[in-house]
Structure 1
Amino acid sequence: MFTPGPEVLLYGLPLAFLAGFIDAVAGGGGTITLPTLFFMGLSPAQAVATNKLMAIFGSGSATVQYWRKGHVDRALVLRLIPLALIGSALGAFLVRFVDPNTFRTLVGVVILGVGALVLANKRFGLEDRYPGLTNRTLALTLPGALIIGVYDGFLGPGTGTFLMFLFALVGFNLVRASGNARTINFATNLGAFLFFLIGGQMVWWIGLPMGLANAAGAYLGARMAMLRGSAFVKWMYGGIVLLVAARLLFT
């Protein structure tokens, strides 16, 4: 089996930093890190496992920033995390029986539609209109967290982007939607990390330094999102939707 040398970190570290920044703002960082790990020569199993190792650093760093600044609705998020974890485990189980490539085109088209809806509605996600834990809120977010959790365990790219749309749909501005999404994504990443840890496929000497770079980028991205506000996040979101859709439709 081909074994990459330490020189791969020369491009791996800056790309991990960039991915962390993007993911903390609008999701989609995995569309950068996973292809990077494949390019390094890692096997599919090694790349997916090592990517989850990196992801817990980045999503954890962003979650801490949003949580400390009050941009996470703890009452709602803590209700959704168990469902997202159950969904992620179910998705990882289903991937053994169904070819994920069957769904790539469908999900790519759906995420393009989501992005178009967000950008076409000029006020969507710019103002915080969250009504609290109403019946409508729970009716949308409880099954939504479960379904997106299944998708994360089954396929993965764009999970944070879908979560942001779900939270914006129930009334959060895009900064708070990003904070909630990062928190749930951290939980699902942690669950997947523990699952892959058992398999022993992680390339630690690559994943740990790239994870630290990812965390540094996520720290800066979260700070930038909170500083620049929802309008900045919205246009970043549009760009990430195109990036995720391109990966799903053309790879």
Structure 2
Amino acid sequence: MSEISIEILIFLVAAGFAAAFIDSVVGGGGLISIPALLFAGLPPSVALGTNKLAATMGALTSTINFLHSGKINKKLVIKLLPLSIIGAGAGVYVVQLIPSEFLKPIILILLILVTIYTLFKKGWGMESNFKELTKKTAYFIALAALLLGFYDGFLGAGTGSFLIFSFLLLGFNFVESAGNAKVLNLGSNIAALITFMLFSSVNFQYGIPMGIAMIFGALVGTRVAIKNGAAYVKVLFVGITVVLIGKSIWDYVQKYIML
């Protein structure tokens, strides 16, 4: 095991805190943590696996905070959790076999649609009007949990946004949607982490310090979200989806125009 420099350690801790602050509420923390791990010198597959280790520690903290605040529908998410776990394990396995590039154009379009819908539906997600699942909504959220679990293991970017959007469609407000989404995200993170470990794609030397920083970032992030309510989470949600859209477009510019 090579020695980790104090400069790299400070860099990873700072990046981990910032990533978890955002990720604890609306997802998107990988926009910060994965580039940080790549900058630290890890190969892409190991950076993804190491990020899952750190992100799992942060997601567990967020889930506990949301649970204590009563912002999670426990009865619902317990039923959905196995689907998210199964999907994520399958996603990590498949990404070892085939490239994830073909999904990116679809994800970009979906992110744009999610953002436009959220911006133009005034007052949406400010109040909770969820009552109970119908047969139709039960099928919808079960399929969403399975497919987004798979997507989280396969590619990952934007998983939090899509999960929150799914719960918003059921009638939860933004804070409750964030809490419910975080439980499923925790399940998919754990499944993905175990699968990455089976492929020896986790660097614990980098992942554990970043994960500890993510615990503190998640504590602060969830408390700020719970205190400031749905309006704050909506602004953060839109902001992160716009950043994800911008990054996706920039990736295409670099790949196809700046060759």
Aligned twin of 2:84:
84
Name the SS of the counterpart of 1:200 in structure 2.
coil
Mapped partners of 2:83, 2:89: distance in 1: 10
Amino acid across the alignment from 1:127? E
For 1:208, the aligned partner's letter is I
Q: Tell whether 2:246 aligns with 1:246.
A: yes
Q: Which moved more, 1:238-247 or 1:72-81?
A: 238-247
Aligned to 2:204: 204
Note if 1:194 corresponds to 2:219: no
**Alpha-carbon distance between aligned partners in 2 of 1:160 and 1:188, rounded to the nearest angstrom:** 11
- Structure 2 Cα separation of the partners of residues 98 and 133 of structure 1: 36
The amino acid across from 1:210 in the alignment is: M
TM-score, normalised to structure 1's length? Answer: 0.94
Distance (whole Å) between structure 1 residues aligned to residue 199 and residue 242 of structure 2: 33
**Structure 1 position 50 matched with structure 2 position 68:** no
Q: What corresponds to 1:39 in structure 2?
A: 39
Q: Taking structure 2 as the reference length, what is the TM-score of the superposition?
A: 0.91
- Give the secondary-structure state (helix, strand or coil) at the position aligned to 1:55: helix
Matches within 5 A, 1:48-127: 48-127=48-127
SS in 1 for 2:56: helix
Q: What is the CA deviation profile of residues 139-181 of structure 1, one whole-angstrom value per residue up to 9, with x for unaligned ones?
A: 2201111111111121111111110000011000000000001
> How do 1:88-237 residues align onto structure 2 when only pairs under 5 Å count?
88-237=88-237
2:88/2:189 contact within 8 Å kept: no
- Tell me which residue corresponds to 2:257: none
Per-residue deviation at 1:116? Answer: 1.6
Letter paired with 1:203: N
Fraction of identical pairs, as percent? 36
The residue type paired with residue 33 of structure 1 is S
In structure 2, how many angstroms separate the alpha carbons of the residues matched to 1:49 and 1:6?
A: 22
- Structure 2: gaps of 5 or more residues: 252-259
CA apart distance, 1:6:
3.4
Match of 1:6 in 2: 6
Unmatched 5+ residue regions in structure 1?
A: none
CA deviation map 1:102-156 (0-9, x unaligned): 2212201211210121121111111101122332331220111111111112111
Q: Is the 8 A contact 2:12 2:209 kept in 1?
A: no
Structure 2: how far apart are the matches of 1:8 and 1:97? Answer: 31
User: 2-side partners of 1:108 and 1:23: how far apart?
Assistant: 19
1:91 is displaced (CA, Å) by 1.8
After TM superposition, give the deviation of residue 3 of structure 1 in Å: 7.7
Contact 1:119 1:234 in 2 (8 A): no
- Give the aligned length: 250
